[in-house]
Structure 1
Amino acid sequence: MADVLMLCHDQHLDRRVVAQAATLIERGHFVRLLALSFDAETTHEVTAEGIQLIRIGLNHIVPENPTYKGYMARQYKLNDLLNWGANRYPGQLGAFQRIFNYGSRLNWNLYKVLLLVRYRNRVLHDPLPFRQAFVKHGAEFQSDLVQVHDLPALEAGTELAALWDVPLVYDAHELYPEQKTFSRAQRKICSKAEAHHIKKATLIFAVNHSIGEEMSRRYNIAKPITLLNAIDPPLEFDPLARYDLLREKLGLSSQRRILLFQGGFAPYRNLENLIDAMALVKTKDVDLVMMGFGDFGNLLKAKAESLKLLGNRIHFLSAVPQNELLQHSASADIGIIPYPHVDLNSYYCTPNKLFEFIQAGLPILSNDSPELNRFVRDNNFGYSYKMENSKKIAEAIDHAFSSSNLSTWQSKIKSKREELTWSKQSDEYANSISTVLPSCTLETKRVIGAV
Structure 2
Amino acid sequence: MMEKKVCAFVYNNCKNDARVLKEAKTLANAGYQMRIIALLDKDTVPYEQRDGFEIIRVEKNPIHYRILKAIRYPFWLVKLVVLKIMGVLFQLYERIIIGKTNKTKGEDSDECLKTKLRQHQQSIKSKGLNGYYRHHWKHRKTILFLLLALTGWALPLFLVAGIIGIVFRTIYEGIRKALLVFHKPLCYYDFRSNCLKIVKKEPADFYHGHDLHALPAAVAAWRKTGGKVIYDSHELYTEISVLTPLERKVYRWYEKNIVPKVDGVITVNESIAEELSKRYQIKKPVVLMNCPVTVGEIDHTSGNLLKEKAGITENKPIILYQGAFHPNRGLQNLVKSAQYIDEAIIVFMGWGKLEEELKALVVDGGLEDKVKLIGPVPQHEVLNYTKGADVGAIPYQFIGLNNYYTSPNKLFDYINTEVAVVGSDFPELKRFIEGYEIGKTFNPESPQSIADAINYVIADPSRLQQMKENTKKAAIIYNWEEESKKLLNLYKELQNGIVV
The answer to which of 426-435 and 403-412 deviates more is 403-412
Q: Distance in 2 between matches of 1:96 and 1:160?
A: 52
1:304 aligns with 2:362: yes
Question: In the alignment, what sits opposite 2:427?
Answer: 370
Quote how far apart the aligned CAs of 1:249 are.
2.5
1:333 aligns with 2:335: no
2:4 to 2, 14, 19: 2
Question: Percent identity at matched positions?
Answer: 29
Does the 8 Å contact 1:21/1:31 carry over to 2? yes
Name the structure with the higher helix share.
2
Does the 8 Å contact 1:39/1:57 carry over to 2? no
Does the 8 Å contact 1:78/1:100 carry over to 2? no
Q: Distance in 2 between matches of 1:434 and 1:163?
A: 23
Question: In the alignment, what sits opposite 2:108?
Answer: none
In structure 2, what residue type is equivalent to 1:427?
A: K
Question: In the alignment, what sits opposite 1:134?
Answer: 192
1:38 aligns with 2:98: no
Question: In the alignment, what sits opposite 1:27?
Answer: 30
Q: What are the equivalent positions in structure 2 for 1:101-120 lying under 5 Å apart?
A: 101-111=165-175, 114=178
Quote how far apart the aligned CAs of 1:96 are.
7.7
CA displacement 1:211-259 (0-9 Å, x = unmatched):
01111122222221111111221514145x5742222223323422110
Question: In the alignment, what sits opposite 2:229?
Answer: 168
Q: Are the structure 2 counterparts of residues 107 and 234 from structure 1 closer, same or farther at C-alpha, using a change threshold of 3 Å?
A: farther
Q: Distance in 2 between matches of 1:232 and 1:5?
A: 22
Alignment length (residue pairs):
415
Question: In the alignment, what sits opposite 1:263?
Answer: 323
Q: What are the equivalent positions in structure 2 for 1:34-433 lying under 5 Å apart?
A: 34-39=37-42, 43-47=46-50, 49-58=51-60, 60-62=61-63, 72=67, 101-111=165-175, 114=178, 126=184, 129-137=187-195, 138-139=198-199, 140-238=201-299, 241=301, 243-279=303-339, 281-283=340-342, 285-310=343-368, 312-403=369-460, 405-433=463-491
In structure 2, what residue type is equivalent to 1:342?
A: I
Does the 8 Å contact 1:144/1:438 carry over to 2? no
Per the alignment, in what secondary structure is the counterpart of residue 393 of structure 2? strand
Q: Are the structure 2 counterparts of residues 411 and 136 from structure 1 closer, same or farther at C-alpha, using a change threshold of 3 Å?
A: same
In structure 1, what residue type is equivalent to 2:24?
A: A
CA displacement 1:327-346 (0-9 Å, x = unmatched):
21111110000111111111
Q: Distance in 2 between matches of 1:108 and 1:402?
A: 64
The answer to which of 20-29 and 97-106 deviates more is 97-106
Q: Distance in 2 between matches of 1:73 and 1:253?
A: 57
Does the 8 Å contact 1:363/1:409 carry over to 2? yes
The answer to which of 158-167 and 321-330 deviates more is 321-330
CA displacement 1:383-418 (0-9 Å, x = unmatched):
112222323222222222225521111111123312
Q: Distance in 2 between matches of 1:93 and 1:198?
A: 61
Q: Are the structure 2 counterparts of residues 76 and 246 from structure 1 closer, same or farther at C-alpha, using a change threshold of 3 Å?
A: closer
Per the alignment, in what secondary structure is the counterpart of residue 214 of structure 2? helix
Q: Distance in 1 between matches of 2:458 and 2:28?
A: 44
Does the 8 Å contact 1:243/1:328 carry over to 2? no
CA displacement 1:339-384 (0-9 Å, x = unmatched):
1111111100010101111111100011101011111111112111
- For normalisation by structure 1, the TM-score amounts to 0.83
Does the 8 Å contact 2:310/2:347 carry over to 1? no
In structure 1, what residue type is equivalent to 2:324?
A: G
Does the 8 Å contact 2:29/2:52 carry over to 1? no
Q: Are the structure 2 counterparts of residues 273 and 114 from structure 1 closer, same or farther at C-alpha, using a change threshold of 3 Å?
A: farther
Q: Are the structure 2 counterparts of residues 274 and 108 from structure 1 closer, same or farther at C-alpha, using a change threshold of 3 Å?
A: farther
Q: Are the structure 2 counterparts of residues 402 and 321 from structure 1 closer, same or farther at C-alpha, using a change threshold of 3 Å?
A: same
In structure 2, what residue type is equivalent to 1:251?
A: G
Q: Are the structure 2 counterparts of residues 224 and 302 from structure 1 closer, same or farther at C-alpha, using a change threshold of 3 Å?
A: same
In structure 2, what residue type is equivalent to 1:412?
A: N
Does the 8 Å contact 1:178/1:187 carry over to 2? yes
In structure 1, what residue type is equivalent to 2:221?
A: L
The answer to which of 142-151 and 385-394 deviates more is 385-394
- For normalisation by structure 2, the TM-score amounts to 0.76
Per the alignment, in what secondary structure is the counterpart of residue 33 of structure 1? strand
Does the 8 Å contact 2:320/2:346 carry over to 1? yes
Q: Are the structure 2 counterparts of residues 95 and 324 from structure 1 closer, same or farther at C-alpha, using a change threshold of 3 Å?
A: same
Q: Which entry has the higher C-alpha Rg, 1 or 2?
A: 2
Task: Give the 4+ runs in structure 1 shifted more than 4 A.
Answer: 72-80, 90-101, 111-116
Does the 8 Å contact 1:42/1:56 carry over to 2? no
